[in-house]
Amino acid sequence: MPELPEVETVRRGLTPALIGRRFSAVEVRRPDLRWPLPSGFAERLTGRTVIALERRGKYLILRLDDGMAVIAHLGMSGRMRVLVAPPEPAPHDHVVFRIEDGPVVLFTDPRRFGSFDLCPGDALPAHRLLRDLGPEPLESGFTGRLLAERFRNRKVSVKTALMDQKLIAGIGNIYASEALYRARLSPNRKAASVRGRRADALAAAIGTVLDAAIAAGGSSLRDHSAPDGTLGLFQHGFAVYARAGLACPDCQCDIARSGGIRRTVQGGRATFYCPALQR
DNA sequence: AACAAGACCTGCATGC
DNA sequence: TGCATGCAGGTCTTGT
């Protein structure tokens, strides 16, 4: 499911339900997610208070009052929901977090690519899931210069490079295509060729599209919604993603002739772009 | 070290 | 209707 904007939407949605609140019980209905849940996961959370809820790339990080932290990833189909009443058991509701004098937070994930881990808070930067992540694209230091530096000597396509979490954290299949469209760069271009003004344009496009998507509550394709059930709306803002054969928003060319937005496959993932505008 | 392909899992849309 | 196929917001592992 979720790329940076969706995870950020989840983080914001969970904040009022979790910050300063205590887990009265944690119920693991199914521990075999991407990896088995850490041993004693439920017991180690029960009675703990959440003191901070952070995001790093596509990871959610819950800091607890005993110094430990939960590292959560939603995989492709993971959701977090805040429910006033405990849920009826449903097939893919794998973890239930009960909040003392509060609602229930439910983790649902049909494909079970999501994961949870536990880590001492001061050891988070060295955790294997976090240590190699690239820079955060919404932080102020994220510039064209930094992007060009990350892409230097990369022989893969810029689209593939954008999705490499070691190079930049948080961008996935949707926003890679969308950012390249906004920067007018072909997804087939070698990453190393994105320097100077092109890198400036791409860095700016990444920031713009991620900010716009967060403002819209993320994109709702099949699984994503905010924790309160509100659907993200950014799928209505897609310029190219999942729009093969349609006209791109800025294209003046003849669709019958050009074929409109093109779908290709790069690294096994669908890529969408406008061949007329993106170079 | 960098890169490509396969693996993991389920649900859904499509086409025969 | 039933079945096969392909596709889906990710990323780890394996092999070159």
Which residues make beta-bridge pairs with A262?
A273
Residue A87's pLDDT band (boundaries 50, 70, 90)? confident
A58 is catalytic: yes
Distance C16 C1' – A268 CA (angstroms): 18
Quote the pTM value.
0.97
Q: What is the pLDDT of residue A276?
A: 94
pLDDT at A254 over 90: no
Name the nucleotide with the smallest C1'–CA separation from A224. Answer: C9
Q: Residue A1: pLDDT above 70? A: no
For chain A, the distance separating the N- and C-terminal CA atoms, rounded to the nearest angstrom, is 29
DSSP alpha helix (H) spans, A138-185:
144-151, 158-162, 173-183
Is A190 in the active site?
no
| pLDDT given for residue A259 in this prediction | 80
User: How long is the CA A76 to C1' C2 vector, in angstroms?
Assistant: 29
CA of A239 vs C1' of C5, distance in Å?
29
Selecting among A11, A48, A56, A58, the annotated active-site residue is: A58
Q: For A260-277, how does the pLDDT look when each residue is reduced to its tens digit (9 = 90+)?
A: 999 999 999 999 999 999
**What is the structure's pLDDT at A109?**
97
Rg (CA), chain A: 20
Which nucleotide is the nearest neighbour of A160, by CA and C1'? B3
**Is the per-residue pLDDT at A137 higher than 90?**
yes
Tokens of A190: 């070698």
Q: Which nucleotide is nearest to A34 (CA to C1')?
A: B8
Q: At residue A169, does pLDDT exceed 70? A: yes
> Is A3 one of the catalytic residues?
yes
